[in-house]
Amino acid sequence: MTDKTDGYVNSLLPIVPRDILQRYHVNEFGDTRFASCARLLQSIWRESRGLAPGWHRGRDGRQRILGSRLDLADARRGRNLLTPDIARLTRRATAYREIGAFIEEQRLWENLLSSQPLTFNLFARCQSAPDRGLGLFAHLFPGFFGQVGELAFEHSPGRGDPTYLGDYTAFDLYVSGLAPDGSPAFIAIEMKYSEAMRQPGRSSKARYRELTRAYALHLDPEAPGLLSDPLAQLTAEHLLAALIRERLGPGAHALFVVIAPAGNRDAWNAVDRYRSMLTEQGDGVPFIALTLEAVISAIGETGDPDLAARLHERYTDFTPVHRLIDDWEPFTEG
C-alpha cells in the first residue's frame, strides 16, 4: 500500500489481453485501462470467495454473465460488503436513508465495482463507533475534529431546494462533529473507485453561476469548464459544502474531500485540473484529495488492521492481475 495522500502514483497497470477478460467474464467495451483492471480484480476476488457471477442486461435487452457482479442469492446475503457487521450497518443505513436519497440498491448489493459499497466498506464501522471515527479522521485530517458526531451516507441538506442548488446533488459521505474549539465542523466526501468524473454539466442552470460568483472558491467564477464535464460534479459539491458552512455560521469549519485510487488517472486528472482553478482562500472550504490507498492505510494504523487488509486485497492490490499477465506460457498446446 502507498502512504501518498495527494495526487496519483505512477504505478502502471496493464492493458489486459482479451482472452483473460473473457475468461473472467469482464470484457466490457468502454472500460478505461484502470476500470478494466479493477473489474478483473473484482471478478478474481469473487471467484476466490466461491461466489457466483451475476447477470447484466445490455442495451439490446440480452442478458449475459458479468464477472464483476454477484448473483442475486449472494447479493441478498450481503456478500458485497466485507464483513457481516458492515453488511448489517449498511442494511440499516439504507433502510433509514434520507428522504430523496439516491441509493441504487442493485448497485449497492450486486455490483462489486461500484463506489457505493466501497464507501460503506470503508466507513460504516465509524458510524457505529464514534471513537473509531475520531481516530481515523484525526489521522487523515489532523487537528480538524475535536469530536465526531454523525456519519450520513448519500447526504444532502436540501434536495430540490432552490435555496441550495435546486437539484439532487449529494455527498457520498457527510461527517459532522465539533472542531477542537467547539464550533461546528464537517467533512463532505466524494468517493470514486473505477468511475471517472463524468456527470451531466450544469451550465444551463443559472443558480450555479450565481453561486460561483457569490463564493470565493474559484479564480475565475465565470470559467465554462467549472460547469461542464469532468468538473461539474466537483463544482456542485464544493458549492454545496460552502452553502452548508455559511448556514452553520461564520465560525464553522468545513472540508470538501475526494477519495480515489492512485491508478484512476481520469479521476486524478480532473482533480488536478479542478485544483488549478481554485483560489487559495477557498471561502473557508478547502479542497483535499486523498488516495484510496492512503485511507486504507490509515484504517490499519488506527486500530483495524484486519479491515485494512481486506480492503487492500479487494480494491487496491493488483498483484493477481499482474500474475495473470506473467503466468502466460507461449508455445504450449491448446
* 68 located within any domain: no
* 25 located within any domain: no
Q: Which residue has the cell 463544482?
A: 235
Print the domain residue range for 212.
81-317
SS3 percent helix, strand, coil of the chain, rounded to 5, is 45, 15, 40
pLDDT of residue 22: 97
pLDDT of residue 56: 86
- Separation of first and last alpha carbons in the chain: 37
Lowest mean pLDDT among 45-54, 126-135, 241-250: 126-135
pTM of the predicted model, to two decimals?
A: 0.93
Which three three-digit cell numbers place residue 196? 471517472
DSSP string, 171-204: EEEEEEEE-TTS-EEEEEEEE-SS--S-----TT
pLDDT of residue 282: 64
Span 309-331, mean pLDDT? Answer: 96
What 3-state class would DSSP assign to 268? helix
Reported confidence tier of residue 10, pLDDT bands at 50, 70, 90 = very low
* 278 located within any domain: yes
* 147 located within any domain: yes
Count of the separate structural domains present in the chain: 1
Burial of 130 (0-12, 13-18, 19+ CB in 10 A): middle
Lowest mean pLDDT among 3-7, 16-20, 106-110, 169-173: 3-7
Q: Where are the alpha helices (DSSP H) in 96-226?
A: 105-110, 115-128, 130-140, 206-214
Average pLDDT over the chain, rounded to an integer: 92
The string of pLDDT tens digits covering residues 247-266 is 999 899 999 999 999 999 99
* 291 located within any domain: yes
pLDDT of residue 198: 73
* 251 located within any domain: yes
- Residue 172's identity, in one-letter code, is D
Distances in Å between the alpha carbon of 308 and those of 117, 194, 266? 15, 19, 25
Residue 1 predicted with pLDDT over 90: no
- Residue 232's identity, in one-letter code, is A
What 3-state class would DSSP assign to 211? helix
* 130 located within any domain: yes
The string of pLDDT tens digits covering residues 81-91 is 999 999 999 99
Neighbours of 312 (CB within 10 A): 17
* 53 located within any domain: no
Span 183-208, mean pLDDT? Answer: 86
Buried b (16+ CB within 10 A) or exposed e, 68-104: bbbbeebbeebbbbbeeebbebbeebbeeebeebeee
